[in-house]
Structure 1
Amino acid sequence: MPEETRQYAEVILPLPLYGTFTYSIPRNLTDKIGIGYRIIVPFGRKKYYTAVVVSLTPVAPRGFEVKDIVSVLDDGPILRYPQLKLWQWISEYYLCATGDVYKAAVPAGLKIESETFIELNPDYEETVTERLTEREAIIAQTLDHNGRMPLGDIEKRTGLQNAETLTAKMIEKGIVIVSEKLVERYRSKKETCLRLAVDRNDDTAMHAAFDAVKGAPKQEKLLIALIDSLNKRSRNGECDDVPRAALLEATGLSSAIAAALASKGIIEIFTREINRFRYLGTDIGQLPVLSEAQNKALDEIHNGFLEKDIILLHGVTSSGKTELYIHLIDYVLKKGEQTLFLVPEIALTTQLTRRLQKVFGNKVIIYHSKFSDNERVDLWKRILHDSRPCVILGARSSLFLPFSKLGLVIVDEEHESSYKQFDPAPRYNARDCAIVLASMHGAKTLLGSATPSIETYYKALNGRYGLVTLSQRFEGVQLPAIKIIDTVDERRRQRTASGPMTAEMGRLSREALSRGEQIILFHNRRGYAPVVTCRQCAYVPKCQNCDVSLTYHKRAGEMVCHYCGATYKLPSICPSCKEPAIEVHGYGTERIEDIADSAFPNVKIARMDLDTTRNKDSYENIIDDFSKGKSQVLVGTQMVTKGLDFDKVSMVGVLNADTLINFPDFRASERAFNMLEQVAGRAGRRNTRGLVVIQTSQPAHPILSFVQSHNYKGYYEHELNERRRYNYPPYTRVINVYLKHRDLDRLIEAAARYGDKLREMFGNRVFGPDEPHVARIQSLYIRKIMLKIEISASMRKVKDLLRSVYEEFMTDPSLRSLQVYYDVDPM
């Protein structure tokens, strides 16, 4: 092909790399490629990745060799407008590579890439002078037995630590060799189906078919059943085939009978790809009846959307925000558009799914990270190829789905920090991205919360967002009473207590349970005990990779690092003084569960934290049991504070409010107020007034007085004054710059130089470098530099300046292993 007629594709790779990469389109693929298509491209020496095409051009790049695209994976794009535009916005605003966004946005099952495999070198011969070490021999034996293996599997199979480092040395010695293999992680679900090989409207052909099965009653039975099923499916407008498994189960026949019919040319047996997604429920269409206050709020939202694209619904807990959401969704679906309903925690989808399905039936689609890769790919394809109106209910990752007719975005509990992605990049806030996504689609955004974030409420009061208020609970139920218990005073009076529960909280809990009511015990620390120590020498076991003490998990019988996940056995003998004096101190939810079990005999205790909700169905099982009264006490971390609705919960106990209040961060008081007010909202949601008991050693703390009076506006004014005084959001935008390195001395020096360089560009907007609360994670030491940037500043210019500093530093060979990343609008 002449050079001037060649076509080139600009692509994004799922790697933390800035910019796009150019590849040549082979002649045979010119008509099979377009923007948004997935393609396989070579990158680096031997690696292959799934890239996404962002543009096509006939202009050849200059200055480097252009590689050819290997293959095109689809017949059409896997993205819809304006997904690429959203990716670019996230990249620019959150100061990360577009490749980071691509990697986070698209399910892993759609990203085929080559995987490194290790195999024995057939030409290697062991010599007397160069013999295999014991650890090398174990790896060699494993490879000899299993053949070629992925690099990541070697450590699992051999049980050796640092197997990857050892394997690298074996590669250098020529003992093993490396190869690359393209691996597709998505496995389509297939179904074997049956269909007639003859036209069932052709009487002659059908007579011949039945003549062929005379004397074979089982074949005749299957043929009749197949025809009946096909007739029913035809009347319902369904496809002209029947799943084999369903037909054989209904008739009680075997697959051999179907094979016999196929051998006679009467039916055809074939396999087709099916979607794993299964509709739940049926269309009912009964909208909830609204109160007078709810109807007024609904009218205000509709009228507000005529002037504003974004509205904040500030409704106290149990005021009926979900009922308003349902009416708005119904309005949007009747217009033929889609709704994205974002929730902060997967746990919330369990209850919300049922409430939505009672009204919208099979129009409800659930999408979150607990689904397998295969399930997420199927849901992605379903939304990509089906533009019918639906409501997608999901956590933050669902905003990346390929919407076609998005009309409304609802962000429930918009204040929640769970909407913020912390690691890895992109470190985005799903609430803010959802607002941008809605804007790109010309859709409206509704933000809902009983305790809006300071920034959101500030924008609403200043006219940037619309504001609708629901100040009363549904059906006039009173907000719960708040009782503050001074733990210092309780100890001074030497009142008996059940572990972390004061005598007063224990008494109130037993009274509630004796009335047949339920209680929630909230403690935001999981595990059994957060501190392990030696009573003789005060030795405290710490993680080898992180600067944190280990948390003891009794059920697992091990100590766990909650930062890197490393596990260690609980020593019976102190490693330091060699005495049998190891003790555990403090309380986690696991220990509180045991204490509650002893304190409330004959009462079923349930626990909801990260350890009990690792499986996809575990949330649902715990919530189901508690909703149905199978358990009477629910012990949990912050998961129990977020929008859950239980009829019989009359009391909520906060075991230690101090851990929420005393945290070294400018958002600490906001998080504390929100969490305490939200957990209080779980109490007394039906008919009777609830009670919230808060234990603290600081009963005079101003945050607690605002919680006690349910005074959000008073808290907001108090917090806004603090933010104004110290120039924090909403008056500035905060960007944290994190630097990591394995060598502490080198990191300290680099961080100081980095801070000085930033001060040359940003002046007194730069603070630090400082040592963060946890100064080493996964063997990397950490320093933090804070930037306070004016709200009016261009993020693109800020990004360019930060990028120039980074590139200048990376020219120093001694700093090549320095890791630098940014956290914009930290939570």
Structure 2
Amino acid sequence: MARIAKVVVEISLDREFDYNIPAHLQPTIKVGSQVNVPFHGRNLRGFVVGLASFSAYADKLKEIDSVVGEKPLIPDEIMKLAYWIADYYCAPIEQAVRTVLPSAVRRHGARHKKQRFVALTGKVPEKITALQDAVFRTLEQLGSMSVSELCERAGCTESPIKTLEKKGLVTISEETVQRDPHAGMELLRTQPFDLMVEQKVALDKICASMDLKKPKTVLLHGVTGSGKTEVYLQALQHALDKGQGAIVLVPEISLTPQTVDRFRSRFGDCVAVLHSNLSDGERHDEWHRIRDGKAQIAIGARSALFAPVENVGLIVVDEEHEPTYKQDESPRYNARDVAVMRGHLETCCVVLGSATPALESFANVKSGRYELAEMVQRVDDRSMPLMRVVDMRIEAEKEGRPTIFSAELVQGIYDRLNVGEQVILFLNRRGFSSSIQCEMCGYVAECTECSISMTYHKRANKMMCHICGREEKVPDKCPSCGDLNFKYAGMGTQKIEEILEKLCPKARVARMDSDTMRKKDSYRTVLDKFKTGKLDILLGTQMIAKGLDFPNVTLVGVLYADMSLQVPDFRAGERTFQLLTQVAGRAGRGEKAGEVIVQAYTPHHPAIQAARNLDYEGFCSQDLEFRRELGYPPFSHLVLLTFKGESEVDVMTTADKFFQSLESVLPESVNAVPPMPAPLARAKGFWRYQIMLRCEHTVKMTKPIRHVQNRMRLPKGVSLSIDVDALSLL
């Protein structure tokens, strides 16, 4: 029996520590157990990541104090996954272990909710007070209930209940109460739909892969409205029929309510939900439902990938192209790629679904690493929406000034409202105005902490930085020249909402962006209103661009479609194409045909034209050729090192020293770009410099980075973040 446990503690030191296992704890300590250990004069929590019978420090080892809980919190396969994440994404092992276990489960004091319940154990005695009689009658009519509910229903305090308990007429017991995020929600159960030919072929491919000893990764490329979700549902049923569990990932919290409702309608209580909009208590209880085998299907955003589902048979990554699957703090993992690795470790099938797959996934199909299943027809042979591109330069000439709504879009909105149909308007910028600019001297109000202009929010009458969150009052006059006329340049969703109120005063409009969706149930409330026809126009940022299914939406308007093309990033074209295709897919999903009006100042850009023609293959071929010539992903892996600190000189000097050390140990096959200011040179008060590395093999970059990291101490006030397979160059 192993006598030594290898433990990682809760502070990031990127190393394991050996501890003796006392005899009385040997039967209970396993890999994944949470333990309390002595560490430099204090007591810390940690996780057992390995067991051994020998240690090089045998005579100096301390003993583990105690074990937390009866069962290990981290299963073996997920522990292996944590080690892979730490190694691949150049992160300390402690951070990787914390990543695979929700804070609601691992934190001190995390426990199930207990509540006191009262039950009758005797008959009503002849002599009894009025309040005691009320308690008796309530329990006789309604049965056992919590003390608090009984007090409320019987109109009493706890005193008469305790008196009855002393007489042996009732019992009070403490019971575990499940914190259910779906409490009070009734859903009609659904049966599997008859599949169209393409859906059936796709499902057969997925099920065939699930039945293999070494299942493959399947890329499900299905146009918007082609019925991908029904294919997922029937594939999940195949897993359940085999006695297996499953995980379904969605990219946005805003998609979770609608997705969860569809899955719960089909599978009931065997579905558990894990995402950040739940309370800590709800997350704790949902996680334990999965761990205890009471829920076989876990659904949620990125972190749901690490749910302790036993015997996983299927992992679905819906909208697999979405950048929200990439974590923006260490370890900077991409849930799509880690899902493929979990599938490999647990020999289960992984399905990546999208109407606009990432170029990396498309390239993996071409190279034979992934299998392809295609669905190019919409369900019930519904037509794809007609997409029209409006040149806003011509509109500006007609009006004699730049305009926000083209005549075509305004008429389209009126036409839909007149016949009781719904409209979605999309603009990927929140706030009222993108900046405040003086027409006299050209002064632009910029954030003092970031190299970016402040955004004007009219309702709060303040300027906000969307990078660091800094807020300021709007000056009465230009701080530079004193002119009283500030001009609000650009626009945001708040400004569009105000214009809509004037254009369509009787229309019921709701805005969905991160300013309005701050309450726990905001997403569900607005989407339910829209679905039931209580709203006419839904206006929002990218959170409304994908995954939502509203049959009565027949017009989608995209404002400033080329805004995302102005970002200094080689993926700008791909992101624009994906966004336009996805948002267009919200139209015409019911019986009525749909139309999409795209407003742009560069209407002939290849990404916009490819989206207009729904030409995914054509766009991919063109963009892949451009990337092949420049050696960008998917023809290489990209690692971005970002140094940041409050002193620009210190940051620049540190980046230069690191690069000199790194350059001497990098293989020749690595393309290394020397340090330069990041496109967003200053954010949240910190200066930022970047080193970019590209190579076909990640390990040829990460090993040298680790080597230099271990030998070079960064000066105080300068930090380094390592982003492997970076999605954003900002």
**Do they superpose with TM above 0.5?**
yes
The 2-side partners of 1:35 and 1:677 are apart by 46
Structure 2 vs 1, CA of residues 537 and 27 (structure 1 numbering), >3 Å: closer, same or farther? Answer: farther
Answering whether residue 37 of structure 2 is matched by residue 41 of structure 1, we say yes
- Quote how far apart the aligned CAs of 1:757 are: 2.9
**1:97 counterpart residue number:** 92
**1:786 counterpart residue number:** 692
Structure 2 vs 1, CA of residues 348 and 414 (structure 1 numbering), >3 Å: closer, same or farther? Answer: same
Answering whether residue 200 of structure 2 is matched by residue 295 of structure 1, we say yes
The 2-side partners of 1:624 and 1:282 are apart by 13
Residue in structure 2 matching 1:416, options 317, 322, 325: 322
The 2-side partners of 1:327 and 1:77 are apart by 32
- 1:260 is paired with a residue whose SS is helix
Answering whether residue 9 of structure 2 is matched by residue 85 of structure 1, we say no
Answering whether residue 391 of structure 2 is matched by residue 493 of structure 1, we say no
The question of whether the paired residues in 1 share the 8 Å contact of 2:198 and 2:374 is answered with no
Answering whether residue 339 of structure 2 is matched by residue 434 of structure 1, we say yes
Structure 2 vs 1, CA of residues 755 and 75 (structure 1 numbering), >3 Å: closer, same or farther? Answer: same
**2:219 counterpart residue number:** 312
- 1:678 is paired with a residue whose SS is helix
- What does 1:79-158 align with in structure 2 at a 5 Å threshold? 79-112=74-107
- What does 1:595-744 align with in structure 2 at a 5 Å threshold? 595-744=499-648
- Quote how far apart the aligned CAs of 1:370 are: 0.9
Residue in structure 2 matching 1:336, options 230, 240, 243: 243
- Quote how far apart the aligned CAs of 1:212 are: 4.5
Answering whether residue 189 of structure 2 is matched by residue 276 of structure 1, we say no
- Quote how far apart the aligned CAs of 1:738 are: 1.3
Answering whether residue 376 of structure 2 is matched by residue 471 of structure 1, we say yes
Q: Which amino acid aligns with 1:493?
A: K
- 1:76 is paired with a residue whose SS is coil
The question of whether the paired residues in 1 share the 8 Å contact of 2:581 and 2:611 is answered with yes
**1:801 counterpart residue number:** 704
**1:116 counterpart residue number:** none
The 2-side partners of 1:380 and 1:95 are apart by 27
Q: Which amino acid aligns with 1:86?
A: L
The 2-side partners of 1:484 and 1:45 are apart by 68
- Quote how far apart the aligned CAs of 1:472 are: 0.5
Residue in structure 1 matching 2:162, options 255, 259, 264: 259
**1:179 counterpart residue number:** none
- Quote how far apart the aligned CAs of 1:319 are: 0.7
- What does 1:389-404 align with in structure 2 at a 5 Å threshold? 390-404=296-310
- Quote how far apart the aligned CAs of 1:482 are: 1.3
The 1-side partners of 2:160 and 2:513 are apart by 51
- Quote how far apart the aligned CAs of 1:21 are: 2.4
Q: Which amino acid aligns with 2:291?
A: L
When structure 1 is superposed on structure 2, of 596-605 and 356-365 the one drifting more is 356-365
The question of whether the paired residues in 2 share the 8 Å contact of 1:759 and 1:765 is answered with no
Gaps of 5+ in 1: 113-183, 199-208, 231-240
Answering whether residue 17 of structure 2 is matched by residue 21 of structure 1, we say yes
In the superposition, the TM-score normalised over structure 2's length comes to 0.92
- Quote how far apart the aligned CAs of 1:335 are: 2.3
Matched length: 721
Q: Which amino acid aligns with 2:304?
A: S
Q: Which amino acid aligns with 2:123?
A: F
The 1-side partners of 2:198 and 2:25 are apart by 61
- Quote how far apart the aligned CAs of 1:51 are: 1.1
Structure 2 vs 1, CA of residues 65 and 526 (structure 1 numbering), >3 Å: closer, same or farther? Answer: farther
- Quote how far apart the aligned CAs of 1:220 are: 6.0
- Quote how far apart the aligned CAs of 1:417 are: 0.8
The question of whether the paired residues in 2 share the 8 Å contact of 1:314 and 1:452 is answered with yes
Structure 2 vs 1, CA of residues 722 and 15 (structure 1 numbering), >3 Å: closer, same or farther? Answer: farther
Structure 2 vs 1, CA of residues 328 and 250 (structure 1 numbering), >3 Å: closer, same or farther? Answer: farther
**1:233 counterpart residue number:** none
Structure 2 vs 1, CA of residues 263 and 51 (structure 1 numbering), >3 Å: closer, same or farther? Answer: same
- 2:226 is paired with a residue whose SS is coil
**2:276 counterpart residue number:** 369
The 1-side partners of 2:677 and 2:59 are apart by 43
Answering whether residue 10 of structure 2 is matched by residue 10 of structure 1, we say no
The 2-side partners of 1:473 and 1:520 are apart by 20
- Quote how far apart the aligned CAs of 1:808 are: 2.6
Answering whether residue 558 of structure 2 is matched by residue 562 of structure 1, we say no
The 2-side partners of 1:42 and 1:547 are apart by 46
> What is the aligned-residue RMSD (CA, Å)?
2.6
Q: Which amino acid aligns with 2:489?
A: H
Structure 2 vs 1, CA of residues 650 and 759 (structure 1 numbering), >3 Å: closer, same or farther? Answer: same
In the superposition, the TM-score normalised over structure 1's length comes to 0.82
- 1:762 is paired with a residue whose SS is coil
- 1:614 is paired with a residue whose SS is coil
The 2-side partners of 1:466 and 1:214 are apart by 78
- Quote how far apart the aligned CAs of 1:548 are: 1.6
**2:494 counterpart residue number:** 590
- 2:667 is paired with a residue whose SS is helix
**2:655 counterpart residue number:** 751
Could you give the per-residue CA deviations for residues 138-187 of structure 1, whole angstroms, max 9, x where no partner exists? Answer: xxxxxxxxxxxxxxxxxxxxxxxxxxxxxxxxxxxxxxxxxxxxxx4646
**1:133 counterpart residue number:** none
Q: Which amino acid aligns with 1:84?
A: M
When structure 1 is superposed on structure 2, of 272-281 and 580-589 the one drifting more is 272-281
- Quote how far apart the aligned CAs of 1:54 are: 1.3
Could you give the per-residue CA deviations for residues 613-668 of structure 1, whole angstroms, max 9, x where no partner exists? Answer: 12220001111111112111111111111111111111111110221222211111
The 2-side partners of 1:822 and 1:259 are apart by 61
Answering whether residue 101 of structure 2 is matched by residue 210 of structure 1, we say no
**1:819 counterpart residue number:** 719
- 2:515 is paired with a residue whose SS is coil
Q: Which amino acid aligns with 1:523?
A: L
Fraction of identical pairs, as percent: 35
- Quote how far apart the aligned CAs of 1:513 are: 1.9
The question of whether the paired residues in 2 share the 8 Å contact of 1:333 and 1:389 is answered with no
Structure 2 vs 1, CA of residues 17 and 642 (structure 1 numbering), >3 Å: closer, same or farther? Answer: farther
The 1-side partners of 2:257 and 2:36 are apart by 38
Could you give the per-residue CA deviations for residues 57-98 of structure 1, whole angstroms, max 9, x where no partner exists? Answer: 453453996555444322221122311111111111111111
**1:350 counterpart residue number:** 257
The 1-side partners of 2:22 and 2:211 are apart by 50
**1:124 counterpart residue number:** none
Greater C-alpha radius of gyration: 1
- Quote how far apart the aligned CAs of 1:496 are: 7.7
- Quote how far apart the aligned CAs of 1:697 are: 1.4
Q: Which amino acid aligns with 1:361?
A: G
The 2-side partners of 1:211 and 1:45 are apart by 60
